[in-house]
Amino acid sequence: MICENENKLNPKFESIKINGRCSLQGRIKISGAKNSALVLLAASLLTKDNVYLKNVPDLSDIRKMKNILKSIGVKIDDKDREKILINSGNLHFGNIAHNLVNEIRASFFCIGPLLSKLGQASLALPGGCNIGERRIEEHLKGLQQLGATIEEKDGFVNARINNNKKRLKGTHIRLGCPSVGATETLIMAAVLAEGKTIISNAAREPEIQDLCEMLNKMGAKITKAGTSEVCIEGVNYLNGCSHEVIPDRIEAGTFLIAAAATLSCITISPVIPSHLNSLLQKLKESGSDISIKDDAISIKTETIKGVNIETAPFPGFPTDLQAPFTALMLKATGKSIIKETIFENRMNHIDLLNKMGASIKLENNIATVSGVKKLSGRNLKGSDLRSTAAIVIAALTADNSSLIEGLEHLDRGYEDFEFKLKKLGANIKRDLTENIADTSHKQNFFTSDAQNFYAA
Ligand code: EPU
């Protein structure tokens, strides 16, 4: 992947070329969940012992998180890709800088374990990002209720435990909204607190259940994980463990949607089918045949009917699949209404999809999609992780080729995305190309589709 600084020196960007009218078939393996692996890496700060994590996906977000942990004394041995070793025996206090926290926002979730392990933590205040404001007041209010002193100064959040025992104290916290990150931060802070903590209005996402399962293996006493009221009985000490990251439900969902959009038949595994219920229901409503056998899901699609979705916290329809699902609706018969309710700015794909010939009207985070007969390949640049996945899906169904940039977003969250699509039969190739935006005046080097590529 090429980072921004390198781009300034070198006008070459990675892009993928996709030939449209694609049909997929076969079987692919789903990787470990990015959002689980990130929080499990943070949770490994809670013990001096070795933590072994299996099924950690090789993604740029994960690599960045590992580097942040290394910067505060954590040893990580990832030579064996099957099982990485994390040891936080030499964890030390350090400011986690602004550029790091903003590069990978999940690093802010380290505040909980750092505070309960070291008695203090200092992390740069994360700003908003290209999908929304990404507020953190629920993390901070909850930590204060557990007895931490929080000060915001010079762009940093400085958290400290001021009592003699340097230990947080269990309490009843009611979250103002079921934030995934705040629930995770507060669980990780409360596991080593004195006494019992109850988190009400907690998020119920599977990644939180995965976190609690690992913490319980380490000796924590957490019950009712996966419900909106999580109970944590504080313990004095946590030991090491070995844990396997759950399969990535968002990656799984993206491939099912890609198969449906291309009227294909594929099988994905391993998955935990119950994590995908809301998507599977919508795929069935829109005309796909779904069959589940143990940890595998097969999909076969011959027609696509317009259906409506509204994103919601788990077990509702995941915001992370809203953009890919919108791409599925582009060629559906009839209208569909797609409502984003979790993030303020998660409709970045709409303009891009309209450039491909889609018919989408957007008002107040509600997209009304009128199905069209054909889409045209274009040169496009994704601007966030899931919107880039959405334009890849649309490109697979287009009448001709597309050239897609913004792979730094895709590489944050999809392991071997184009290799997996290729394995399913897609005509897709990653290459080093000139920046699309900078070369719009030049002749296209993919000569067969020259007009298309620079028409966007
Ligand atoms: N919110 C507040 N106050 C807070 C915390 C959150 O108002 O104190 C708001 C946010 O501004 C946002 C909404 O609540 O509008 C949801 O935020 P949440 O805290 O639940 O999300 P997150 O923890 O920041 C995680 C995932 C996201 C995923 C969301 C929702 C990780 C690392 N990230 O973010 O994943 O979309 O939960 O399910 O776990 C992705 O993978 O593409 C991604 C963005």
For a pocket test of ligand 1, which of 34, 35, 36, 321 has the largest count of ligand atoms closer than 8 A to its C-beta?
Answer: 35
pLDDT above 70: residue 33: yes
- pLDDT tens track for 415-450: 999 999 999 999 999 988 666 543 333 333 333 333
CB 400 within 8 Å of CB 376? yes
Q: Specify the 3-state DSSP secondary structure of 40.
A: helix
Cβ–ligand 1 contact at 133 (below 6 Å): yes
Average pLDDT rounded to a whole number, residues 193-199: 98
User: Cα of 164 to ligand 1 centre, how many Å?
Assistant: 34
User: Cα of 102 to ligand 1 centre, how many Å?
Assistant: 14
CA 134 to ligand 1: nearest atom? 11
Q: Does the bond joining 270 to the residue before it have cis omega, within 30 degrees of 0?
A: yes
Q: Whose alpha carbon is nearest atom 1 of ligand 1?
A: 135
> What does the alpha-carbon distance between residue 150 and residue 157 come to, in Å, rounded to a whole number?
7
pLDDT above 70: residue 12: no
**pTM higher than 0.85, yes or no?**
yes
CA 250 to ligand 1: nearest atom? 41
Cβ–ligand 1 contact at 36 (below 6 Å): no
> What does the alpha-carbon distance between residue 282 and residue 98 come to, in Å, rounded to a whole number?
40
Q: Whose alpha carbon is nearest atom 37 of ligand 1?
A: 180
For a pocket test of ligand 1, which of 102, 125, 135 has the largest count of ligand atoms closer than 8 A to its C-beta?
Answer: 135
pLDDT above 50: residue 304: yes
CB 193 within 8 Å of CB 169? yes
Average pLDDT rounded to a whole number, residues 251-268: 98
Residue 449, C-beta contacts closer than 8 angstroms, at least 6 positions apart: 377, 400, 401
Distance, C-alpha 108 to centroid of its chain: 15
* Residue 171: CA count within 13 A, CB half-sphere: 16
Q: Which residues of 68-84 are buried (b: 16+ CB within 10 A; e: fewer)?
A: bbeebebebebeeeeeb
Give the pLDDT of residue 127. 66
- pLDDT above 90 as % of the chain: 82
Cβ–ligand 1 contact at 386 (below 6 Å): yes
Cβ–ligand 1 contact at 110 (below 6 Å): no
- pLDDT above 70 as % of the chain: 92
For the ranges 99-103, 188-192, 271-275, 323-327, which has the lowest average pLDDT?
99-103
CB 366 within 8 Å of CB 343? no
User: Cα of 105 to ligand 1 centre, how many Å?
Assistant: 10
Give the pLDDT of residue 446. 34
Catalytically active residues, by annotation: 129
User: Cα of 180 to ligand 1 centre, how many Å?
Assistant: 6
Give the pLDDT of residue 435. 60
Average pLDDT rounded to a whole number, residues 86-115: 88
Give the pLDDT of residue 3. 33
Q: Whose alpha carbon is nearest atom 18 of ligand 1?
A: 179
For the ranges 118-132, 254-268, 286-300, which has the lowest average pLDDT?
118-132
Cβ–ligand 1 contact at 253 (below 6 Å): no
Comparing 56 with 131, the larger pLDDT belongs to 56
For the ranges 18-22, 44-48, 446-450, which has the lowest average pLDDT?
446-450
For the ranges 3-12, 144-153, 266-275, which has the lowest average pLDDT?
3-12
User: Cα of 347 to ligand 1 centre, how many Å?
Assistant: 15
pLDDT above 70: residue 169: yes
Q: Whose alpha carbon is nearest atom 7 of ligand 1?
A: 135
List the beta bridge partners of residue 12.
Answer: 434
Distance, C-alpha 365 to centroid of its chain: 20
Domains of the chain are 4-31+247-453 (3.65.10.10), 34-244 (3.65.10.10)
User: Cα of 188 to ligand 1 centre, how many Å?
Assistant: 17
Confidence tier at 11 by pLDDT (50, 70, 90): low
pLDDT above 50: residue 8: no
Q: Whose alpha carbon is nearest atom 43 of ligand 1?
A: 320
Give the pLDDT of residue 129. 74
Average pLDDT rounded to a whole number, residues 295-319: 98
Give the pLDDT of residue 454. 26
> What does the alpha-carbon distance between residue 358 and residue 352 come to, in Å, rounded to a whole number?
9
CB 65 within 8 Å of CB 106? yes
pLDDT above 60: residue 198: yes
pLDDT above 50: residue 414: yes
pLDDT above 70: residue 10: no
Residue 271, C-beta contacts closer than 8 angstroms, at least 6 positions apart: 30, 247, 249, 252, 295, 296, 297
* Nearest 10 degrees: Cα torsion 370, 372, 375, 379: -20
Q: Whose alpha carbon is nearest atom 14 of ligand 1?
A: 179
For a pocket test of ligand 1, which of 105, 209, 342, 348 has the largest count of ligand atoms closer than 8 A to its C-beta?
Answer: 342
Confidence tier at 133 by pLDDT (50, 70, 90): confident
Distance, C-alpha 65 to centroid of its chain: 13
- pLDDT tens track for 342-385: 999 999 999 999 999 999 999 999 999 999 999 999 999 999 99
Confidence tier at 452 by pLDDT (50, 70, 90): very low
CB count in 10 Å sphere of residue 263? 18
Give the pLDDT of residue 432. 80
Instruction: Name the packing angle between helices 385-397 and 249-261 (round to 10°).
Output: 20
Q: Which amino acid is at 426?
A: A
CA angle 13–433–3, rounded 5-degree value: 10
